[in-house]
Structure 1
Amino acid sequence: MRRFRHLAPARLGSVGVLGLAAVLLVGCAPKPAPTEWVTVAPTVSADKTVPPDPAQQVRWPLTGEPAPDAGDDLERAAVSVKIENSAASRPQVGLQRADIVWEELVEGGMTRFVATYHSDLPEDVGPIRSIRPMDAAIAGPVGGVLAYSGGQLAYQQKARAAGLVLVSDDGGGSGFYRNPQRRGDHTLFGDPRTFLARAGDAAPPPAQFAYADSAAESSAATDGREASAVATTFPASSPSWQWGDGGWRRYESGSPATDGGDQITAANVVVLTVTIRDTGNRDAAGAPVPETILTGTGEAIVLSDGHAIDGTWSKGDATDVIELTDAGGEVIELTPGNTWVELVPVMRGTIAVS
């Protein structure tokens, strides 16, 4: 497995050859069992109470963080929301409180987010925009609700077929409102708590990643290399992350990315190289609509606790959870906390870890 340090766009294009080798390696490795967390009563002796093993405590499935007081909230469905990322849409609202955020390429070379909420449900998120073809493969494994505004019928049908409950502003869904302080196409916001009310009997989300018990025990910290930053480029976007104050701090084209006045941070940054295809469709402005292919396999970098580890991602069907494995085929474990996933195109995308 080669390292991604200071890769140029042309070199990233070679990921297809390495991807084939990764498929063979992943195919030979046994599939890891899903993480299961249960509540274990403490053992009481004559002189003290022995706390339960941390690995057996109840944890939030999408962050791996302990959830001793979560109660029935653990049984609620997740809510995923499509959030815009054009310069005019910033600063966004509610991104910091998401358990997992996926950054995807859309038309014009720009990016948008799929932000998933489960352990924490903010009152306000946005600006909210339309659904895209890969959203079914991103939100499908999580299940629950997908909230958005508009989008082509084929993409909505694809998301519904993945088992998602769709809530859209143009479809009459409740929980949306206009923010008078915003302008143009960037005024639509929403309340994930209201979106959740549409979930019906949707199941709580399964874990999307494996988590260590602590940052120091994450795979990057124990088996990776020290890293202070990762810079990525999309055709018309340049997000980057720098390690500091115990977290990865997000930047947009060199400027701090903020939410509520504070810089956005993540416990983990997962960078995946992906193939992009032209759907043949056009948006309202006539621009080609790209689709990120999230089945198969590709190269990955996982950043946790000021370290980075190289690996491979693999995913079967749209509703399958992505698996992250290291060069030896072992499952990569993340730091408990929120995670951002960067879906960087193999062509016309770059990744540099320093």
Structure 2
Amino acid sequence: MIKPFLVVAIISLFLIGCSNNDTDATGQDLDHRSVDKDPVESIDLGSEYMYPLTGMGTDEEPNNRIVSVMVNNHPEARPQSGLSQADMVFEILSEGNTTRLLAMFQSQTPDVVGPVRSARPYYFQLAGDYDAVYIYHGAADFIENQLQQSGIDNLSGAQYDGDGHLFTREAFRQAPHNSYLQFPAVTEVAEGRGYTMEKEYDPLNFDDVDRSDIVGDEVEEVTVSYGSDRVRYVYDETDEHYVRYNGNTQTVEYGDETPITLENVLIMETRHAVVDDQGRRDIDFESGGNAYLLQKGKVQKVQWESVDGRIIPVRDGEPVDLLKGQTWINVIPNNPGLSGISEVE
């Protein structure tokens, strides 16, 4: 019999792909890179404006441009810096069974984000869909050509490698896990490239809802398995948010150990295709499909759709409101997709 509030949902994805060759050692100290997170609870919900990716209130019109950063998620790149201040994070497979993260920032501005890794087409296409500046560190020549021909505004760590202004190479980790974006320099450098750094965005759909109003099954923990790498979301009933883990290791900021906590987790299945002998992928972000939405300890079966390039949950053709706060989107192959979920007592 399934016990209420003590249900574990497990997504087992048996993926075949090329292994990642990154094997460098991890450093141990990043005290000077600690992040002072401005908790979302401190923002006045009765304010005149709202941030478009979080729904949180603000007294000033949020017209700063979204900045998206390609964040390394190799085991030797963890814990990362800056993720606790991301409005939204996409976690997607790259080669093999390793994911990378596209972290989008607008409502908060970290000092440092990283480590930063190389570009992939479906990541920079997502950045373009959200009208965000795309920041990455290098790419294969043909991918670099695709990016430059796409017209998407971008900044590459390969061009500013270790300049000490936009990017630094840190000694506590070895390449390719040691390239860090100095976030406060982004606007200056981007404007110097002729990019517009003021934008107006339509907000996503947000609402404050009681837990009893959310239609779904009660679950305390959900595990997403990317081959040998597992991502876990554990619901904190007291603070009404999800705490993220890689396996048994909690996802925190490197340096001050600020935890990554989330109000919304969307797990969406879509078509993945391996397109070359390096294991690179093509991933469908247009056709829509099945998804699970985790909010306040409940899991809802929904669909996902791309509306004006932005990924949103829908039910019966109508958008499902997000809770105000931060969102993590896990993208998984549709084979086996969500059918791999099982409830365990």
Correspondence 1:149 to 2:140 = no
Q: Which residue of 1 aligns with 2:20?
A: none
Query: For residue 235 of structure 2, what is the amino acid of its counterpart?
Result: W
User: Which of 103, 115, 138 matches 1:115?
Assistant: 103
Q: Which moved more, 1:194-203 or 1:99-108?
A: 194-203
Q: Which residue of 1 aligns with 2:186?
A: 195
SS in 1 for 2:90: strand
Change (3 A) 1:176 1:320: same
Q: Which residue of 1 aligns with 2:26?
A: none
Correspondence 1:182 to 2:173 = yes
Query: For residue 85 of structure 1, what is the amino acid of its counterpart?
Result: N
Per-residue deviation, 1:180: 1.3
Query: For residue 60 of structure 1, what is the amino acid of its counterpart?
Result: Y
Q: Which residue of 1 aligns with 2:251?
A: 257
Q: Which residue of 1 aligns with 2:305?
A: 314
Q: Once the two structures are superposed, what CA deviation does each residue of 1:150-201 show, in whole Å capped at 9, x if it has no partner?
A: 1124434444555531100112375100111122321110122212330532
CA contact (8 A) 2:97 2:228 kept: yes
Change (3 A) 1:90 1:302: same
Between the aligned partners of 1:348 and 1:187, the Cα distance in structure 2 is 35
Between the aligned partners of 2:177 and 2:11, the Cα distance in structure 1 is 34
CA contact (8 A) 1:229 1:353 kept: no
Change (3 A) 1:161 1:144: farther
Change (3 A) 1:294 1:157: farther
Query: For residue 224 of structure 1, what is the amino acid of its counterpart?
Result: G
SS in 2 for 1:134: helix
Q: Which residue of 2 aligns with 1:323?
A: 312
Unaligned runs of 5+ in 1: 13-52
User: Which of 107, 120, 133 matches 1:132?
Assistant: 120
CA contact (8 A) 2:138 2:158 kept: yes
SS in 2 for 1:258: coil
Q: Give the number of equivalent residue pairs.
A: 295
CA contact (8 A) 1:240 1:253 kept: yes
SS in 2 for 1:135: helix
Between the aligned partners of 1:127 and 1:84, the Cα distance in structure 2 is 5
Change (3 A) 1:141 1:125: same
Between the aligned partners of 1:154 and 1:208, the Cα distance in structure 2 is 34
Q: Which residue of 1 aligns with 2:206?
A: 211
TM-score of the two chains, using structure 1 as the length reference: 0.75
CA contact (8 A) 1:136 1:158 kept: no
Correspondence 1:301 to 2:292 = yes
Between the aligned partners of 1:264 and 1:135, the Cα distance in structure 2 is 21
Percent identity of equivalent pairs: 23
Correspondence 1:234 to 2:226 = yes
SS in 1 for 2:126: helix
Between the aligned partners of 1:353 and 1:109, the Cα distance in structure 2 is 24
Between the aligned partners of 1:111 and 1:166, the Cα distance in structure 2 is 21
Q: Which moved more, 1:154-163 or 1:57-66?
A: 154-163
TM-score of the two chains, using structure 2 as the length reference: 0.77
SS in 1 for 2:121: coil
Q: Which residue of 2 aligns with 1:101?
A: 89
Change (3 A) 1:204 1:110: same
Between the aligned partners of 1:211 and 1:351, the Cα distance in structure 2 is 27
Change (3 A) 1:187 1:181: same
Between the aligned partners of 1:343 and 1:288, the Cα distance in structure 2 is 17
Between the aligned partners of 2:170 and 2:49, the Cα distance in structure 1 is 38
Between the aligned partners of 1:290 and 1:298, the Cα distance in structure 2 is 18
Change (3 A) 1:216 1:155: farther
Query: For residue 313 of structure 1, what is the amino acid of its counterpart?
Result: W
User: Which of 64, 88, 100 matches 1:76?
Assistant: 64
Q: Once the two structures are superposed, what CA deviation does each residue of 1:105-125 show, in whole Å capped at 9, x if it has no partner?
A: 011210110001101111111
Between the aligned partners of 1:334 and 1:352, the Cα distance in structure 2 is 25
Between the aligned partners of 1:300 and 1:226, the Cα distance in structure 2 is 16
Per-residue deviation, 1:236: 3.6
Query: For residue 252 of structure 1, what is the amino acid of its counterpart?
Result: N
CA contact (8 A) 1:234 1:345 kept: no
Between the aligned partners of 1:237 and 1:167, the Cα distance in structure 2 is 29
